[in-house]
Copies of this chain bind each other. A is one copy, B any other.
Amino acid sequence: MSGGKSYLNGGKEGAAVQHYARFNDFTLITPTASMSAAVHGGRAKCLQRLVRLGLPVPRTVALSYDVVHRIAEGHMPDLPRLLSAFGREPLLSVRPSSMDAEWGGPGAVLNVGMCDARRDALAGTIGEEAATALYLRFVQAYAVDVLRLDPDAFAVPDASASSLAAALQTFEEETDEPFPQEAGVQLAEVLRSMARSWESTSVRLLRQARGAPADAGLGLVVQTMALGLGPGESGSGVVRGMDPATGEHTMNGRYLRQSIFRDALTGTGGPEGALYLAADQRGASLESEAPGIFAELTEFSRICRKRLREEMEIEFSVAGGTLHVLDAVRMQRSSRAAVKAVVDLAEDGIIPREEAILRIEPRALSQLLHRQVDPDARREVILKGIAASPGAATGRLVFSAMAAQTAASQGDACILLRRETTPEDIRGMHVASAIVTERGGMSSHAAVIARGLGLPCIVGAVGSRIDTRERTVTLKDGRVFREGDMVTVDGSAGVALEGAAPLLEPMLDGPFTTLLGWADKVRDIGIRANADTPDDARTAETFLAEGIGLCRTEHMFFEDARLTLMREMIFTDDSKDRAASLERLLPMQRRDFADLFHIMAGRPVCIRLFDLPLHEFLPRDREDQRALADALDLPLSDVVRRVQNMSEFNPMLGMRGVRLGITVPEIYEMQARAIFEATVQASRETGSPVVPEIMIPLVSARREVELVKTRVDAVAAAVKNESGETFEYRLGVMVETPRAALRAGEISDHAAFLSFGTNDLTQMTYGLSRDDAGRFMGAYVAEGVFPEDPFHTLDLDGVGELLLLGAERARENRPDITVSLCGEHGGDPDTIAFCRAAGFDYVSCSPFRVPVARLAAAHLALGGTPHGTPWEREDAANAAGAGAAIRRL
């Protein structure tokens, strides 16, 4: 308490007093006072807006950032003058008012000014009991929150007079001074405590982590308490004009009689004892019990929405039937409600559509596309890993693709848990409800496939011992989960939970579609989807992708009948036998492509030719090898030898993509034929011409493209000749090696388009396998070695430069070339911004990321960045505007 009274009695701080005049010590909030969020903070600014709108706000004074900073340094403003604004016996609340409420800050302190005399006076109006309780509450808050005394010492059994006496006694023992009776002394301590708390290292680091600048200031607002205590209709509560979960426009909130501040939500007796606002059958309501006050609140809510152009949450109190508005903040809401809120605001003419678009953070949309674990559900975490694909699912644990298929055939939902997944697991993955792997990172096979399928996925799962052979997961506490046990995967949070947790369904309702429709009208970069199967293509269709930017064809070969033919083909020794095996795969491939062309109905479909190493199609365990030997009528040793001979040290850098296409040309020839025959067929059936795009993977030299082009052209000529139909097609290159980017100039000689495959390009630019990076990427990002996981966030400096170089060189050589990006990064708003700035024609991403990409692209076209909105920036520049204040409360 030393110096606690210094502002009153001068003393050693007298010198500082001389400087007070240099500061604009405080500002009484009136409609005409000069205020700005940049000086006084968002809460102060918003309160002025409420005052201007004529809402009954109790008398409020704002302290600027400068003043509060000086307080922290020991220079107290002219408190007697401040207190004089509140009359002779002030009873005050003090609340923080920073630029952005997200940055944290000290909690509110209520009832400043309570003292023995004031308690006695209040006892006459609100009753002995309430007055005593109020005083006790202040003594406790002052001791614990302001002076940081031991909370246990101030724990009392009840709110009786004897408890109050005990607390006052404790206070004196702990501080060697009696509880201060002057409002000025109390207020000085409160202000000093709040100001210093803001400057403490831990609080500063916390807000900087949340994006605050190093010099972010704290403003404070001091307001007359409008107590919801006493005779007549008295109480306090909060009201919103919209359901925060669904976005329905209903009067929403809670009201608790004989309470103050937010007791209706958080205090003793609330929310259980609180009334609902509207009479909607959920329980007792303010609407039915005090219809006049309800009507007034409804009108206030309407005014706020219209004039503050936002859905607000209003804090109010009722004192003997009189309504006071204490505060208003931007209403917290679910992503679904957020979309509905801005669409409704725009449709009601309150904000323009562009602003509606910009108010929704694109990444927030992904929440809407997937099921979620109910946030209120109990969570017993059994595995923790990298949140590799969002959404939630419940099912029975299985440890193999085969078990997944068995479960699926019995109609059981299952969760597939593997050490890692390989293309052999594809069929199991297709039928699983979620995927969990022990190894791998954001771009491992499991993660990429799961995102493509829209399945929840966790990779790099740790925390428990997984034994895929014994088919058990053993927790640290010794509990064991076995195949068949029910679990829930929360792919958004990266955790697996015990049992079947309650889930919330995705919500692709009208406002969602409306908003994306508006976004499509303004954006100026194309958005396609990566889609390998008809199912994927239908999802892409649903999300209005403009075409398929990447159709990987290798998964098509893992179906039973095809796998057998593929293996047969691999075991042939000459070109003729190979062609014969492939001949039998041809009709299946043709059907695949015809289906895609039908679903996409004239929109472009870009088909990547076969990319996988052939050894991925051979069985790895001895039993399967034996079965294959039987099927092919070969000695087992031949099969084993072939598998061994074909294995690679670094399959990622091996015999795959165009290397395979050139070395075993029959595969690409079969695929080209299937594409062209499907083109003829789909064009005939739909009556509108299909123009397929064919993409060559893993190119590193111009001549590779030339060789493939010659062969594909020959196949096209043959199909045209046989069918008597003509058709167009486009041949292009997937740029996945640094060399292809560097040599894009000459490579584009034979390419109508270039599409950057940033997954592989990132791997090769860093010399880092996405499948193996999981083991240290966490630590690397945590230590700041890499600012982000480059498989998750495009590395603009390194990989990005290759993109720019490649695009520039290709265009210099061939100005009409189409340039795009089709890696996993394609759905990321920052990547879209980069590609748009570089003049790319389109990006292509997982179907489930298409909505995010469409919205992000619209933000860019509107000149906003994915992380900010024009109105925010405008407000920041012109602090007299209301928006910033509203949003940042």
Contacts and interface: CB of A to CB of B under 8 A. Distances in A.
Contacts of A704: 785
Contacts of A738: 738, 764-765, 767, 798, 802
Which 9 A/B pairs are nearest by Cβ-Cβ distance?
A: A653-B769, A650-B769, A739-B798, A654-B772, A737-B767, A738-B738, A649-B771, A650-B650, A650-B652
A175 B760 CA distance: 70
Interface string A781-797: 00111100000000101
A649 B652 contact: yes
B659 A769 contact: no
A564 to B, nearest CB: 25
A653 B772 contact: yes
B765 A737 contact: yes
A780 interface: yes
Interface in A771-821: 771-773, 775-776, 779-780, 783-786, 795, 797-799, 801-802
Interface stretch (A88-96, A100-108, A567-575, A695-703): A695-703
Contacts of A773: 654
- Interface size band for A: 35 or more
A29 to B, nearest CB: 48
B785 A765 contact: no
Contacts of A783: 662, 707
B663 A769 contact: no
Contact of A767 (B420, B663, B736, B801): B736
Q: Which of A420, A649, A655, A663 has the most CB of B within 10 A?
A: A649
B743 A798 contact: yes
A763 interface: yes
Contacts of A698: 767
Copies of this chain present in the complex amount to 2
A760 B767 CA distance: 9
A737 B795 CA distance: 14
Nearest to A658: B785
Contacts of A801: 742
A766 interface: yes
Contact of A662 (B655, B785, B799): B785
A644 B439 CA distance: 11
A776 B649 contact: no
A650 B795 contact: no
Interface of A: 419-420, 644, 648-655, 659, 662-663, 698, 700-701, 703-704, 707, 736-739, 742-743, 760, 763-769, 771-773, 775-776, 779-780, 783-786, 795, 797-799, 801-802
A561 to B, nearest CB: 28
B653 A707 contact: no
14 contacts: A650-B771, A650-B772, A653-B763, A653-B769, A654-B775, A659-B776, A663-B779, A700-B765, A703-B784, A738-B764, A738-B798, A739-B767, A742-B797, A764-B765
A655 B776 contact: yes
A703 B795 CA distance: 14
Contacts of A420: 649
Contacts of A649: 420, 651-652, 769, 771-772
Contacts of A650: 650-653, 769, 771-772
Contacts of A780: 659, 662
A261 B776 CA distance: 77
B648 A700 contact: no
A766 B654 contact: no
A650 B648 CA distance: 9
A644 B419 CA distance: 10
A652 B799 CA distance: 19
A777 to B, nearest CB: 10
Contacts of A768: 653-654, 700, 737
Given A651-B772, A704-B785, 20 more contacts: A648-B769, A648-B772, A649-B771, A649-B772, A650-B650, A650-B652, A650-B772, A652-B769, A653-B763, A654-B773, A655-B776, A662-B785, A663-B776, A698-B767, A701-B785, A703-B785, A737-B767, A738-B764, A739-B765, A742-B798
Contacts of A798: 700, 738-739, 742-743
A517 B188 CA distance: 88
A73 B536 CA distance: 68
A508 to B, nearest CB: 37
Given A653-B652, A785-B707, A739 B766 contact: yes
